[in-house]
């Protein structure tokens, strides 16, 4: 994440009660009318989701941001990389605000541009006869998105990762006049920054684990031999989500013992061992949809951020829903967006002051837009990606 610093809130916003904050947010939103659109990720607190004009997973919120033609301001209730992407996808005239600048993502911070350029140079030197297509998960900085855009790749989210990888394996955008796919010996994917999403998706597509290597940016050749790299179809960046890492296979064993009829559904940021033991895996939107479609009496253990699990529990009292682990997995950075911060940015907008604007520089914007537009053009929202499915299988 770019170096950012969240100044302390004016004390008044900490002194107001929640009902007072709610009234003030409502009236600021009314005063701003169509000039402002509030976007809320599924992991936000209920208090925030209540004020969101649109709620969704990363893919859906990017689409919503790109659709904003009339608004002057997008207030993004999510984390920094999401607000950056919204800034890239909206017209220059739209200002994107993140209510708390401290709302970053530890996974996105696990890959920086310098490490990426170094890895790219080493991979090109090690595999001169292969076409390497860089793909980055949405959970990455704008600089990494720009890098993949410039080098023929795309962004993916957890809801279209498989489709983006299929596109990449067919050569991606094959930028810079590289040899056409038919004439290169092999296509290799360099996947940032979540090794688990990359591994889970590639495995579901039919690639064995021994065709994937992990790239540790602190080591020469990522900690691999040249042969290991040449033989791999996927080079997976050594990054992970510290929230989803808390779910372990033993949690699923425990659920199976105690609740044999319970279905286990997890986010693909969970480790491969967890996804393999689960019944289903998919993006936050996919999880929401499976629960929405289920019959009364359905039982779920859900492996994702606790605010989403608790919301689903409250929305579906006729189902039995629990969070997969007792650790109450909380994304502390998402949690930084709260009523006081939302009230503070909205009231300042009413007074004509734009706070906490997220602005991506022109060069980064140009190429990251290319990478994001490629992502938006590749459909696939909601595909389950945990279990092995032959490449090309259509999943709904
Ligand atoms: P989704 O794309 O499923 O919304 O996930 C985003 C995220 O950060 C999950 O940790
Ligand atoms: Fe980042 Fe994990 Fe939080 Fe998602 S849940 S925003 S990947 S730290």
Which residue lies with its CA nearest to atom 8 of ligand 2?
Answer: 105
Residues of the chain with pLDDT under 70: 1-4, 175-185, 379-396
Find the 243 Cα to ligand 2 centroid distance in Å: 6
Minimum-distance ligand 2 atom for the alpha carbon of 41: 6
Residue 177's pLDDT is 47
d(CA 251, CA 256): 9
Pairing of strands 299-303, 263-266: parallel
Residue 335's pLDDT is 97
Q: Is 283 in the pocket of ligand 1 (CB under 6 A)?
A: yes
Residue 5's pLDDT is 77
Residue 393's pLDDT is 33
For 326-374, how does the pLDDT look when each residue is reduced to its tens digit (9 = 90+)?
Answer: 887 999 999 999 999 999 999 999 999 999 999 999 999 999 999 999 9
Residue 7's pLDDT is 84
Minimum-distance ligand 1 atom for the alpha carbon of 286: 3
d(CA 5, CA 60): 28
**Cα angle, residue 85 at apex, residues 79 and 88 outer, rounded to 5°:** 145
Minimum-distance ligand 2 atom for the alpha carbon of 305: 5
Residue 101's pLDDT is 97
Q: What is the DSSP string of 201-265?
A: HHHHTT--GGGEEEE-TTSGGGG--HHHHHH-SEEEES---TTGGG--HHHHHHHHHH-TT-EEE
- 87 touches 360 (CB < 8 A): yes
């Amino acid at each position: 994440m770019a170096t950012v610093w969240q100044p302390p809130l004016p004390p008044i916003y900490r002194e107001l009660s929640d009902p007072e904050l709610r009234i003030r947010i409502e009236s600021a939103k009314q005063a701003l009318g169509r000039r402002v659109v509030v976007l809320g990720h599924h992991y936000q607190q209920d208090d925030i989701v209540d004020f969101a004009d649109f709620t969704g997973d990363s893919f859906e919120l990017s689409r919503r941001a790109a659709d904003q033609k009339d608004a002057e301001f997008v207030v993004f209730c999510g984390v920094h990389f999401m607000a950056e992407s919204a800034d890239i996808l909206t017209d220059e005239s739209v200002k994107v605000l993140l209510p708390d600048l401290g709302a970053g993502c530890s996974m996105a911070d696990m890959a920086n541009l310098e490490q990426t350029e170094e890895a790219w140079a080493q991979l090109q030197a090690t595999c001169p006869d292969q076409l390497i297509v860089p793909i980055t998960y949405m959970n990455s900085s704008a600089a990494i998105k720009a890098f993949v855009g410039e080098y023929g790749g795309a962004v993916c989210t957890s809801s279209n990762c498989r489709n983006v990888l299929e596109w990449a394996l067919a050569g991606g955008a094959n930028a810079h006049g590289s040899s056409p796919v038919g004439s290169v010996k092999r296509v290799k994917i360099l996947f940032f920054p979540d090794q688990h999403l990359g591994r889970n998706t590639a495995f579901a597509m039919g690639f064995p684990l021994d065709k994937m290597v992990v790239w540790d940016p602190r080591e020469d050749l990522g900690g691999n031999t040249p042969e290991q790299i040449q033989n791999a179809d996927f080079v997976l960046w050594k990054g992970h989500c510290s929230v989803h890492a808390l779910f372990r296979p033993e949690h699923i064993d425990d659920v199976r013992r105690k609740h044999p009829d319970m279905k286990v559904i997890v986010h693909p940021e969970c480790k491969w061992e967890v996804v393999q033991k689960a019944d289903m895996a998919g993006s936050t939107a996919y999880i929401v949809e499976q629960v929405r479609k289920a019959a009364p009496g359905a039982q779920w253990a859900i492996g994702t951020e606790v605010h989403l699990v608790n919301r689903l529990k409250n929305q579906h009292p006729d189902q039995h829903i629990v969070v997969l682990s007792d650790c109450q997995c909380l994304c502390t950075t998402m949690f930084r967006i709260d009523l006081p911060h939302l009230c503070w940015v909205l009231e300042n907008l009413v007074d004509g002051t734009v706070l906490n604007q997220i602005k991506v520089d022109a060069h980064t914007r140009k190429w990251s837009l290319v990478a994001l537009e490629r992502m938006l053009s590749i459909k696939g929202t909601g595909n389950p990606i945990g279990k092995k499915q032959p490449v090309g299988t259509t999943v709904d």
